[in-house]
C-alpha cells in the first residue's frame, strides 16, 4: 500500500513537473521571440531616427542656401539703386529653393517611419 501511494505521488509529481516544464518552455520561447522583436524594432527606430535627422539637416541646408540667395538679391537690389535687372536670377533661384525646402520638410513630417503599436500575436 505504501509503495502504491509513493508510486502515485511520484507519478503526480512527475506530471506536475512535466506541466511546469512545458509551461516554462512555452513562456521562454514567447519571451525570446518578444525580446527579438523588441530588439529589431529598436534597431529600426534608431536607423529611421538617424535617417529623419539627416533629411531634416538636408532640408535645413536647402532652406539656408535659398534664404541667402534671396538676401543677396535684396542687398544687391538696394545697393544698385533699386535695379533688379541683373539680380533677378538670385531672387528666383532663392525662392525656388525655399519652396522646395518647405515642401520637403512637409514631406518629412508626414512620413511615418515606424509604428509603436504592440505586435499582434
In whole angstroms, what is the distance from residue 83 CA to residue 67 CA? Answer: 20
Residue-wise pLDDT for 6-31, tens only, equals 555 666 677 777 777 777 777 777 77
How confident is the model at residue 120, as a pLDDT? 59
58 within some domain: yes
Element counts in the chain: helices (H) and strands (E): 2, 0
28 within some domain: yes
Q: Given phi > 0 = left and psi -120 to 50 = alpha, else beta, which region is 32?
A: alpha
Residue-wise pLDDT for 87-116, tens only, equals 888 899 999 999 999 999 998 888 776 555
Q: Are 98 and 70 in contact (CB under 8 A)?
A: yes
Over residues 80-88, the mean pLDDT reads 80
Which one, of 106, 31, 1, lies nearest residue 62 by Cα? 106
47 within some domain: yes
117 within some domain: no
Enter the pTM of the model. Answer: 0.62
Question: How many folded domains does the chain comprise?
Answer: 1
115 within some domain: no
HSE toward the beta carbon, residue 111, CA cutoff 13 A? 14
In whole angstroms, what is the distance from residue 61 CA to residue 36 CA? Answer: 38
Find the domain containing 65 and state its range: 2-110
How confident is the model at residue 64, as a pLDDT? 96
Amino acid at each position: 500500500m505504501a509503495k502504491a501511494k509513493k508510486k502515485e505521488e511520484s507519478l503526480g509529481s512527475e506530471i506536475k513537473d512535466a506541466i511546469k516544464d512545458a509551461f516554462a518552455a512555452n513562456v521562454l520561447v514567447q519571451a525570446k521571440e518578444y525580446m527579438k522583436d523588441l530588439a529589431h524594432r529598436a534597431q529600426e527606430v534608431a536607423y529611421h531616427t538617424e535617417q529623419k535627422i539627416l533629411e531634416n539637416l538636408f532640408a535645413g541646408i536647402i532652406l539656408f542656401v535659398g534664404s541667402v540667395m534671396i538676401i543677396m538679391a535684396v542687398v544687391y537690389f538696394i545697393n544698385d539703386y533699386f535695379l533688379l535687372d541683373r539680380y533677378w536670377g538670385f531672387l528666383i533661384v532663392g525662392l525656388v529653393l525655399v519652396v522646395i525646402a518647405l515642401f520637403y520638410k512637409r514631406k518629412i513630417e508626414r512620413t511615418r517611419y515606424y509604428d509603436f503599436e504592440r505586435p499582434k500575436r
